[in-house]
C-alpha cells in the first residue's frame, strides 16, 4: 500500500544516494508541486538545494512577499528575484495570447539561467514535475512546466545541460498534497488553487501594462478573500478575476463614468480537463461586486462567467 510516510522516507533516502554532495537548483513558483519538491530535496540535501523564486510581476497581490516569507520560514535556501520590469518590457505591446506566453517563457528562462549560473558547480536541475505532466508533457503549472513548453525555442540555456531530478514524477496531485502534509508544509500553500505560469498576463485580455496588473490584483484579492471568508475557497477548484478589454458606461454621483469590466470565474473540476462553473450564492456575488466597484478605481462593472469547459476553457486566453 502506498502511504505518504513511506514515500517520504524512501524518496529522501534515494535522493541522498543519488545526489551525494552535489548541488541542485530549483525554481519555486508558489504552487503546490514545486514547494513539495523543494521541501523533499531540502530534507535530503539541506543547503545544497538552491531555490530561485522569480517575481514576474504577474502574481497575485502581495503573493511574492508572502510566499517568499513562508519559504524562508520552512528553512529553504531561497533567493527571490525581482524581475517585474523585464517581464513588463517583454510584454509591452503584445496582445496575442501565445505571443504573451512565449515572451514570458523566454524571459523566465533568461532570468532563471542567470541566477542558476551564480551557483558554483551546480550539477542538477530540480523540478516539481508530477505524473500527469509526464504523460501529457504539456504545460500545467509553474516554472518547471514553463521550461518544458519553451525549451525548444532557440538555443538551449545553460541550465538545460544539467541533469534533471524530479522526485514527484510518479505522483498524482492528491498524493502530492498528502506528501506535503506529511512534510509539515503550510496548509495555505498545499490548498492553493492552480494558477497558470503566465499568471495575470493571460487574465488581462489584450496587452498587459503594470497599471492593468495593479487593477486586476486589487479586484482578484477582493474576490479571493471573500471566497475564503465565506468558506467556499476549498470547495472551488480554481477561481480568478479577468480584466476585460471592454469599457462601459456607469454613473457615480452626478458623473458619467466610462471604465473597464472585470469578469469573475470560478470552476469545479477534478483535473482541469473538464470543468463546470460554480453556482456561487447570489449574496456572495453581490457582496464581491459591490466591494470591487466601490474600491477598485477603473472598474465600474463586474460580470460572472457561467460557461463550462468544454467548450469554454478555464482561462480566457
Which CB atom, from 257 or from 308, has the smaller least distance to ligand XMP? Answer: 308
> In angstroms, rounded to a whole number, what is the distance separating the alpha carbons of residues 127 and 196?
16
> In angstroms, rounded to a whole number, what is the distance separating the alpha carbons of residues 131 and 59?
25
34 assigned to a ligand binding site: yes
Under the binding rule (CB under 6 A), the answer on residue 128 touching ligand XMP is no
Length of the chain, please?
317
Closest listed residue to residue 268, CA positions, set 317, 306, 230: 306
Of 57, 196, 216, 296, the one binding ligand XMP (CB under 6 A) is 196
Interaction with ligand XMP in 228-247: which residues (CB under 6 A)?
Answer: 238
Under the binding rule (CB under 6 A), the answer on residue 105 touching ligand XMP is no
Cell of 237: 477548484
220 assigned to a ligand binding site: no
CA distances for 287 relative to 35, 222, 230, 281, 290, angstroms: 33, 10, 11, 10, 5
298 assigned to a ligand binding site: no
Q: Which span sits near ligand XMP by CB under 6 A: 9-17, 85-93, 111-119, 306-314?
A: 306-314
Of 95, 113, 194, 298, the one binding ligand XMP (CB under 6 A) is 194
Cell of 302: 463586474
Min separation Cβ 3 and ligand XMP, Å: 28
> In angstroms, rounded to a whole number, what is the distance separating the alpha carbons of residues 251 and 282?
23
Under the binding rule (CB under 6 A), the answer on residue 145 touching ligand XMP is yes
Q: 163: number of CA atoms within 13 Å, CB side?
A: 11
Under the binding rule (CB under 6 A), the answer on residue 272 touching ligand XMP is yes
The site for ligand XMP (CB under 6 A) is made up of 101, 139-141, 145, 194, 196-198, 238, 272, 309, 313-315
Amino acid at each position: 500500500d502506498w502511504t505518504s510516510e513511506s514515500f517520504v522516507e524512501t524518496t529522501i533516502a534515494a535522493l541522498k544516494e543519488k545526489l551525494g554532495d552535489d548541488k541542485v537548483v530549483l525554481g519555486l513558483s508558489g504552487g503546490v508541486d514545486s514547494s513539495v519538491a523543494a521541501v523533499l530535496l531540502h530534507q535530503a540535501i539541506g543547503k545544497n538545494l538552491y531555490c530561485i523564486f522569480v517575481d514576474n510581476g504577474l502574481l497575485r497581490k502581495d503573493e511574492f512577499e508572502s510566499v517568499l516569507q513562508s519559504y524562508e520560514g520552512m528553512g529553504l535556501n531561497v533567493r527571490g528575484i525581482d524581475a517585474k520590469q523585464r517581464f513588463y518590457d517583454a510584454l509591452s505591446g503584445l496582445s496575442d495570447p501565445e505571443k504573451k506566453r512565449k515572451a514570458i517563457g523566454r524571459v523566465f528562462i533568461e532570468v532563471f539561467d542567470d541566477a542558476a549560473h551564480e551557483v558554483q558547480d551546480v550539477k542538477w536541475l530540480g523540478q516539481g514535475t508530477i505524473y500527469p505532466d509526464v504523460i501529457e508533457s504539456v504545460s500545467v503549472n509553474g516554472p518547471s512546466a514553463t521550461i518544458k513548453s519553451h525549451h525548444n525555442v532557440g538555443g538551449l540555456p545553460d541550465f538545460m545541460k544539467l541533469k534533471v531530478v524530479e522526485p514527484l514524477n510518479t505522483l498524482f496531485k492528491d498524493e502530492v498534497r498528502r506528501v506535503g502534509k506529511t512534510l509539515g508544509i503550510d496548509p495555505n500553500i498545499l490548498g492553493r488553487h492552480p494558477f497558470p505560469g503566465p499568471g495575470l498576463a493571460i487574465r488581462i485580455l489584450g496587452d498587459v501594462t503594470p497599471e492593468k496588473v495593479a487593477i486586476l490584483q486589487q479586484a482578484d484579492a477582493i474576490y479571493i478573500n471573500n471566497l475564503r471568508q465565506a468558506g467556499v475557497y476549498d470547495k472551488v477548484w480554481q477561481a480568478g478575476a479577468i480584466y476585460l478589454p471592454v469599457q462601459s458606461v456607469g454613473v457615480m454621483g452626478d458623473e458619467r463614468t466610462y471604465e473597464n469590466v472585470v469578469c469573475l470565474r470560478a470552476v469545479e473540476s477534478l483535473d482541469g480537463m473538464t470543468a463546470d462553473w460554480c453556482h456561487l450564492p447570489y449574496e456572495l456575488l453581490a457582496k464581491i461586486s459591490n466591494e470591487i466597484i466601490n474600491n477598485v478605481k477603473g472598474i465600474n462593472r463586474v460580470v460572472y462567467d457561467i460557461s463550462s469547459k468544454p467548450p469554454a476553457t478555464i482561462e480566457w486566453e
